[in-house]
């Protein structure tokens, strides 16, 4: 899946997201549904961001909505677990592989909810510098209607759903969502499981913010908590801890070499990720690209 995601990004580099994505063949994508607790599901497919779903008496809340062409498949997958309509879409951040279905769900009557910076970024043409990718401003119906600055609580389907802002993490608008009773957390793209992460500094992200988000989730998670990463398979607290440790170790190695005045080629040649490549280096970014991204982030 992360391979597909990488191909999508590669295909999109330096072109507009819309037309490039329209060329991707979504017809064979199947949405996978994994039950995590009563009425709480993880859904995934098409190489985009993992979905979190709360379904029950009060209706359906969806966290993130993949790409626009997949909306009918997502709706069909939801219909298998609930007869109720999608009342809320909560975006974990503004990236197109997490918000692509907003227009469709907005037109179908869902209320879109997100941190205020998500609305700001979706409202205008954007640029993801490290990927060389331009994005188009979204129409009004695709924009968040309910925005918040720091934290938000939703009382839905018999439980409290807490959304909290993770500042300057993967972007400047990341939200982590906790299903308190079900003991499930959706980490958005502050967490890539079993794949080197992308940190979008051109959208206000930072390595320090991603580490802070991971630490905050580790503080509230228990050993049995199910953690939905933005990308990759369902995770445990131990997986998140391994991710945090990997990112902290590699970034401190890169920072040390930047301080010694090393050039990017030299840092890459020193293989600062070596012992992690087997587990983390086969996904979204190959090791060299991940090191280049960190170098770019950390030298600022
Ligand atoms: Zn993202």
Would you say how long the chain is, in residues? 300
Q: How far apart are CA 38 and CA 293, in angstroms?
A: 39
Which strand ranges, in their side-by-side order, compose the sheet holding 51-56? Answer: 32-37, 40-44, 51-56, 59-63, 86-90, 111-115, 146-148
pLDDT given for residue 256 in this prediction: 98
* Distance in Å, CA 185 to ligand 1 centroid: 17
What phi and psi values does residue 155 have, to the nearest 5 degrees?
-100, 105
* Global confidence as pTM: 0.93
Eight-class DSSP state of 138:
P
Q: How far apart are CA 261 and CA 156, in angstroms?
A: 53
Beta strands in the chain (DSSP E): 32-37, 40-44, 51-56, 59-63, 86-90, 111-115, 126-128, 133-135, 146-148, 151-156, 159-166, 174-179, 184-186, 226-228
* Distance in Å, CA 238 to ligand 1 centroid: 22
The one-digit pLDDT tens for each residue of the chain (300 residues) are: 444 554 444 434 333 344 444 467 899 999 999 999 999 999 999 989 999 999 999 999 999 999 999 999 999 999 999 999 999 999 999 999 999 999 999 999 999 999 999 999 999 999 999 989 999 999 999 999 999 999 999 999 999 999 999 999 999 999 999 999 999 999 999 999 999 999 999 999 999 999 999 999 999 999 999 999 999 999 999 999 999 999 999 999 999 999 999 999 999 999 999 999 999 999 889 999 999 999 999 998
* Distance in Å, CA 265 to ligand 1 centroid: 26
Q: How far apart are CA 207 and CA 225, in angstroms?
A: 24
* Distance in Å, CA 95 to ligand 1 centroid: 5
* Distance in Å, CA 199 to ligand 1 centroid: 8
* Distance in Å, CA 252 to ligand 1 centroid: 23
* Distance in Å, CA 80 to ligand 1 centroid: 27
* Distance in Å, CA 93 to ligand 1 centroid: 7
* Distance in Å, CA 49 to ligand 1 centroid: 7
* Distance in Å, CA 291 to ligand 1 centroid: 18
* Distance in Å, CA 99 to ligand 1 centroid: 10
* Distance in Å, CA 261 to ligand 1 centroid: 30
* Distance in Å, CA 165 to ligand 1 centroid: 15
pLDDT given for residue 47 in this prediction: 87
pLDDT given for residue 18 in this prediction: 42
Exposure string for 24-63, b = 16+ CB within 10 A, e = fewer: bebeebebebeebeebbbbbbbbbbbbbbbbbbebbbbbb
pLDDT given for residue 23 in this prediction: 60
Which tokens sit at 82?
Answer: 């609930």
Ion ligand 1 — residues with CB under 5 Å? Answer: 95, 189
* Distance in Å, CA 212 to ligand 1 centroid: 17
């Amino acid at each position: 899946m992360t391979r597909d995601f990488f191909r999508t990004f590669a295909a999109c580099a330096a072109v507009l997201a819309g037309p490039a994505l329209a060329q991707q063949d979504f017809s064979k994508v199947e949405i996978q549904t994994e039950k995590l607790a009563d009425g709480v599901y993880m859904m995934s497919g098409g190489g985009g961001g993992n979905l979190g779903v709360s379904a029950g008496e009060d209706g359906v809340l969806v966290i993130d909505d993949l790409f626009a062409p997949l909306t009918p498949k997502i709706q069909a997958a939801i219909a298998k677990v609930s007869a109720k309509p999608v009342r809320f879409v909560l975006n974990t951040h503004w990236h197109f592989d997490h918000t692509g279905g907003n227009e469709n769900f907005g037109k179908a009557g869902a209320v879109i909810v997100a941190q205020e910076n998500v609305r700001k970024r979706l409202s205008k043409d954007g640029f993801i510098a490290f990927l060389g990718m331009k994005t188009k401003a979204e129409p009004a119906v695709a924009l968040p209607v309910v925005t918040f600055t720091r934290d938000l609580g939703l009382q839905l389907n018999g439980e409290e759903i807490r959304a909290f802002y993770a500042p300057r993490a993967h972007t400047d608008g990341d939200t982590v969502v906790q299903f308190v009773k079900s003991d499930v957390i959706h980490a958005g793209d502050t967490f890539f499981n079993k794949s080197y992460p992308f940190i979008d500094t051109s959208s206000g992200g930072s390595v320090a913010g991603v580490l802070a988000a991971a630490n905050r989730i580790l503080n509230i998670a228990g050993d049995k908590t199910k953690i939905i990463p933005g990308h990759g398979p369902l995770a445990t607290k131990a997986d998140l801890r391994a991710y945090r440790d990997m990112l902290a170790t590699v970034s401190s190695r890169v920072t040390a070499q930047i301080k010694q005045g090393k050039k990017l080629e030299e840092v890459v040649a020193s293989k600062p990720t070596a012992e992690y490549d087997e587990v983390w280096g086969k996904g979204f970014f190959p090791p060299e690209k991940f090191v280049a991204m960190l170098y770019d982030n950390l030298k600022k």
